[in-house]
Amino acid sequence: MQFQYKIYSPETIKTTIQLPASKSISNRALILNALSLSSAPIENLSDCDDTKVLIDAFNSDSNIFDIKAAGTAMRFLTAFLAGMEGEWIIKGTERMHQRPIHPLVETLSALGADIEYLEKEGFPPLKIKGKKLKGGEVYLSGNISSQFISALLMVAPLMEKGLIMHIEKEVVSKPYIDLTMGMMSQCGVHAKWEGNSISVKPQRYKAVDMVVESDWTAASYWYEIVSLLPGSEIKLIGVSKESMQGDSNVANLFNDLGVTTEYTSDGIIIRSQKKKTKKFFHNFINEPDLAQTFAATCCFKNVPFLFSGIQSLKIKETDRVQALINELKKLGYILIENEIGMLEWDGERCTPEKEPAIDTYDDHRMAMSFAPGAITNQSIIINNPDVVYKSYPKFWEDLKHAGFVIEERK
C-alpha cells in the first residue's frame, strides 16, 4: 500500500501563515545572479525541490545535471548552458523525458547553439556543447510554454547580435514573461515588447541585491480553504498588492467564490463571506497554475464552471486536465473536456467512491488543491503527499498549524 495522508478539517480557522518564497522568482533570480556574475546571496530563496536542483547545478563540479521533475530548471538551464563554454548533459525523471523541449532547442540552434538529443528526438535528456551564441531574429508560437520564452530572454543580452523574438498567436502565461522582463530590468538589462515582438540588445547585467517575495500561487490553497469554511480568517505573510506575479489575480477571482482580501503592510488577511456566483467563468491563459485550485473549489462549493485557456496544463508535471477529470470523478463530479484548452462542470454528479484516495501524479498542485476537500467531504485521502516538496515543502505542517488533523497511512 502506498504512503497516504488522511486529512480531517477543523470547524473554523483563524490563524497566520508564513507563505513560502516564490519558486518562479527564485529560479529566475538564480539564473540572473549567475549571468551577472554576482557573489551576493539571494535573500529568501525558496527551499522547494525545483529551486534546490538549480542551486545544486550551480554548485556542482560535474558536467552532468539531473534536474529531476523541475520543468523550469530544465528550460532555464538548457538556455543558460547553451551559452556557457563547455560540454554539458542535462537529464531528469521519466516524466521529464516525456515533456517536449524541441521548440526551445530548435530556437537555440537557430541562434547558434549546439544541442543534441540523447534519446527521443524532441525530448530530454540533452547533450549541450556550450559556446557564445550569435543571436538574431526568431519566430515562436505564443502558445508554447512561457518558460521557453523566459529562458531565451534571460540569455539574450549575452548573444553577439542580441535577440528579436516575433511571437505568433496568443501568448500563454504572459505575466510570467512580464515577470522575467521586470527582473531583468532590475539587473540593468532592458527588453522592449512592441506589438508581437520582443527585442533585447547586447548588454551586460549588473549585480544587484535580490530579495524573493512570497508565492501567490501558494496563497491560492488558503483562499480555497477560506472559501469552503464559513467564518474563517487567515493572515498570509509575505505577499503584496504590487507583486509582479500574475497569480496575484487570485485575490480578485476568489471574490466571486466568497473570499475578501485586505492588504496589510506585511501581507494580506483573507476572510470568508456569503457571496457566491451561480457559475464561474474564466480564461486561465494568464494564470494556468490556478486552474486546479479553482476546479476543486467550484466542485466542492457546488458551483458549475467553464474554464478556457488551459491548453498548457496538458504538458505540465502530468496532463493536469485529465488528472482533474479522473480524481474529481472519484468524489462524484463529472467534468468534461469539450476541446483542447477548455474544461467544464455543468453540475452533473455520479456516485462517489466509498473511500476515495486522490492520486497526485507526481504533481504538487494536485495534492494541494484537493487537500481542502476534507472540509466538504468529512475527510480526504491524498496519495503520495510528499509531492508538495516541489513548491511548498511546509504545506502539511501549515495545515496542521491551521487546525487540520493529518493521519499517516502506509
Catalytically active residues, by annotation: 289
Task: Tell me the chain's radius of gyration from C-alpha atoms.
Answer: 21
The crossing angle, in degrees rounded to 10, of helices 146-155 and 71-82 is 30
CA distances from 179 to 174, 301, 335 (A): 9, 32, 32
In this structure, the dihedral spanned by the alpha carbons of residues 163, 67, 28 and 145, taken in order and rounded to 10 degrees, is 60
CA distances from 91 to 96, 324, 351 (A): 8, 28, 42
Nearest CA to 160 out of 138, 136, 134, 137 is that of 134
C-alpha cell at 382: 491524498
Say how many CA atoms lie within 13 Å of 268 toward its Cβ: 24
**Angle value at C-alpha 226, between 225 and 227, nearest 5 degrees:** 90
